[in-house]
Amino acid sequence: MAPERTILIVDDAAMFRELESLFLARSGRVTTAADGEEALALARTLRPDVVVTDLVMPNVDGETLCRAIKSDPDLKATPVILVIPGEDAQDHARAVRAGADDIIAKPIDRISLIQAVNRFLHATSVRGLTRIELEAPVRIQLASEDAWGTARNLSRGGMFIETESHLQLETEVRIDFELPEIADPLSSTAQVVWHRDPAPGQPQGMGLQFLAQDRRCVKSIEQFVYERAPRVRRPPTAERPASAP
């Protein structure tokens, strides 16, 4: 029998620790901490299989905790899920820059939390966010000029764009795009994280990692990916834009 997996939940609010513990009770052995300092000490002792931490906490917050875990040689492979307030797009960017493996916005949806945690607990190969193919025009806004491209695949964490523009790695841009069957355009800031060089039958392009996103953008992408990914059910409580079918 496989050993029971350990989940470390970190939040300064007892109510949220208890709620998340209840949601994840069947996923593994749940341990909790009230702040980042306590959580880091527990992580070094228990070596949890996944950490779920609130972003905003007094003293040592979730961003600092995530950075500490990712910089610790013994803990850096530990998946960290950051829970953000959900209203401020910059909180999403903070979580990405901290090195979070996944990001969930409050109010926490039970199914989304369970799926996010189980994805790491049951991973048998390289972990990655669910990715789908699509074809959608994208406007890439730079400080001095705009460029255009075509999104070819999408996940909750980023997208791959075919484009003639070649930007340096870590370049930050603003992108505007539309998803099929979702009426209103979406916007996000993003950074270039990899390139695809041109080859016969394969246009050049670049992979973008999302940074600052507002709640509507996050929820719209999450819904779009869940509804179209093979063998993945959209969380029944996820928000649906009024224009979606």
Taking only the tens place, the pLDDT of each residue in 74-118 is 999 999 999 999 778 999 999 999 999 999 988 888 998 998 999
Q: Average pLDDT for residues 190-196, to the nearest whole number? A: 94
Confidence of residue 127 (pLDDT cuts 50, 70, 90): low
Backbone angles phi, psi at 178, to 5 degrees: -125, 140
pLDDT at 215: 86
pLDDT at 87: 74
In 3D, which of 145, 136, 150, 8 has the Cα closest to residue 65?
8
Cβ-based neighbours of 115, under 8 Å, separated by 6 or more: 235
Highest mean pLDDT among 21-25, 120-124, 182-186, 220-224: 21-25
Please give the residue that has the higher pLDDT: either 189 or 227: 189
Q: Average pLDDT for residues 190-204, to the nearest whole number? A: 90
Q: Are strands 186-196 and 172-177 parallel, antiparallel or unpaired?
A: antiparallel
What's the pTM?
0.80
Does 23 have pLDDT greater than 70?
yes
pLDDT at 211: 96
pLDDT at 1: 52
Q: Are 239 and 224 in contact (CB under 8 A)?
A: no
